[in-house]
Chain A
Amino acid sequence: MQFGIFTVSDVTTDPTNGTTPSEGERIKAIVTIAKKAEEVGLDVFALGEHHNPPFVSSSPTTTLAYIAAQTEKLILSTSTTLITTNDPVKIAEDYAMLQHLSDGRADLMMGRGNTGPVYPWFGKDIREGIPLAIENYSLLHKLWREEFVNWEGKYRTPLQGFQSTPRPLDGVPPFVWHGSIRSPEIAEQAAFYGDGFFANNIFWPKEHYMRLVSYYRQRFEHYGHGTAAQAIVGLGGQAFMRSNSQAAKAEFRPYFDNAPVYGHGPSMEDFTDQTPLAVGSPQEVIDKYAGMREHFGDYQRQLFLMDHAGLPLKTVLEQLDILGEEVVPVLRKEFATNRPAEVPDAPTHASLVAKRDAALADSAADAPATV
């Protein structure tokens, strides 16, 4: 079971004092936060991709490579990589590059992006979001697995004898997650390829995501990648913690009340009742997230959103201390207890290389001896 954090890279005014970090400050804060994630023992740092303010992360692989150079074990991922508006050829090359530079500590999560104007800025149409995600990923999948690619589709110019470069590290493509909050087509796509499925699970009631995850698990089994329990599931989450519940609520409330996504809407109490947001003591957060496996089945990756809504860097780093020292160690034990042996860990570069080698050894053993 992997634990980590994901960020959307928003530049948001701190509602308690009216200060707004500059883009430069926010970008450096993201790097500091990622390094802190490794320091407190988290496994994964995932960064979003956006092309419109107030978000600063337009080039995730640049940032992730910079973080990779300053960390040892942290897995670097995305939340998400825009499979709709990016050229799949460039995704293939950028993330293979990151894979080499990080010694295999890179994977990525495909997402469509939900901001209408971004699509035409990149020559695309949001109404074609799903067909774009389907076709572009089909090409990306091929580019990482075949040396020379001939290809023709609807959304980019055809390719003849194209070889993307560099080739994936050790000949094994980075593991891919597909993120979706409502589209069965994307769950179907993830299941078809035997890729991971990630439900961000933060802004809506968990029941909604449970149905989507359950559908993905069934389809994963249908396509012959293993049992439904062996499907690769990741979940988002959101928490704010202080040593006691009252202090956490009092400190987080102004950030909640003014947050870009849910601010000026439901009360923090209603929202924490209705969604996976947890605001309280470390034990309350542990209780809420230890229960997730009962709703979603045993899963592979849990990411928390910790640095949004104008929370100052100092506070975020304190939150990571609490998460890494008090919450995640307990969750690791809880999730390990009674975890069925058939449930796999999240794929890593090492596990994917071992799996590929085992498959090669199998097929060599099956092949008739040649003279």
Chain B
Amino acid sequence: MSDVKKIAVIAAGLSQPSSTRLLADRLTEATVNNLRERGVDAEVTVIELRDLAHDVTNNLLTGFPSTKLDAAIAAVTGADGLIAVTPIFTTSYSGLFKSFIDVLDPQSLTDLPVLLGATGGTDRHSLAIDYAMRPLFSYLHAVAVPTGVYAASADWGSGAGSVSSTLPARITRAAGELAALAAVSDRSDRVIDPFALPEGFSPVGSFGAQ
């Protein structure tokens, strides 16, 4: 097992700069700090999906990734921990976020620890993490940590007289949960054999040569 854990970060914000990237950076920093406290170094790869939007669409149409997209896919699928942050559009993760997930091999995120993050204009969409993102990663057999972090516009600074945001505390708690799993993950050391045959496979079939 290597001493350095690989953390991949997906930021699906469309504007530059985006609050989605801002949240992703805060979550990344907190995760890296927590890993360091555990004596674990982290190697971070940040993937801004905006930069890959055309490549993702082309992959959907042609069935293969460009070199640039292939590198991003490898960083995500070979990570020890993933921080996935999307804006909430029309009650759910953005189309670009889902399109990127759609070009991944459905088996490739199995047992990957994931921290779910989302941003939106109003805190009334905060449950989108739990009714949209969490089932998506459950389907992919990833391990989503219990705390998801949703940041509404108000979380970045409240008007005078309002209660102060709980965002920093939520970030710290979620990052701790991810770091605990990523610190003991061996995913980035695994060698995947693309030609591994299914167990019990016979070139003459289950009834054998007759």
Contact = CB atoms under 8 A, between A and B. Distances in A.
Contacts of B198: 185
B163 interface: no
Contacts of B165: none
Contacts of A264: 61
A192 B203 CA distance: 7
B197 A185 contact: yes
A contact face: mostly helix, strand, loop, or mixed: helix
A203 interface: yes
A203 B63 CA distance: 8
B69 to A, nearest CB: 11
B209 A138 contact: yes
A261 B62 contact: yes
Contact of B61 (A151, A154, A265): A265
Interface string B119-141: 00000000000000000000000
Interface string A181-196: 0001101110111000
A138 B194 CA distance: 25
B205 A138 contact: yes
B202 A134 contact: yes
A118 to B, nearest CB: 19
B66 A274 contact: yes
Contact of A205 (B64, B201, B202, B206): B64
Contacts of B64: 203-205, 208, 274
Nearest to A216: B195
Given A150-B210, A151-B210, A265-B61, A138 B204 contact: yes
B209 to A, nearest CB: 7
B87 to A, nearest CB: 25
Nearest to B59: A265
Interface in A250-280: 261-266, 270-271, 274
B153 interface: no
A90 B164 CA distance: 75
Interface residues of B, number: 22
A142 interface: yes
Contact of A262 (B57, B61, B202, B206): B61
Contact of A142 (B63, B67, B202, B210): B210
B201 A204 contact: no
Nearest to A191: B203
A184 B210 contact: no
Contacts of A154: 205-207
A265 B57 contact: yes
A215 interface: yes
A321 interface: no
A25 interface: no
Given A184-B194, A215-B195, A152 B207 contact: yes
Contact of B197 (A188, A211, A262, A263): A188
Nearest to B203: A192
B210 to A, nearest CB: 6
B201 to A, nearest CB: 6
B18 interface: no
B158 interface: no
Contact of A188 (B63, B201, B205): B201
A135 B207 contact: yes
Contacts of A151: 210
Contacts of B61: 262-266
Given A185-B203, A203-B64, A274-B67, 6 more contacts: A135-B206, A138-B209, A189-B203, A203-B63, A263-B61, A265-B57
Ordered nearest first, which 4 A-B pairs have the shortest CB separation? Answer: A265-B61, A192-B203, A135-B205, A184-B195
7 contacts: A134-B203, A142-B210, A151-B210, A184-B195, A192-B204, A274-B66, A274-B67
Interface of B: 57-58, 61-64, 66-67, 194-198, 201-207, 209-210
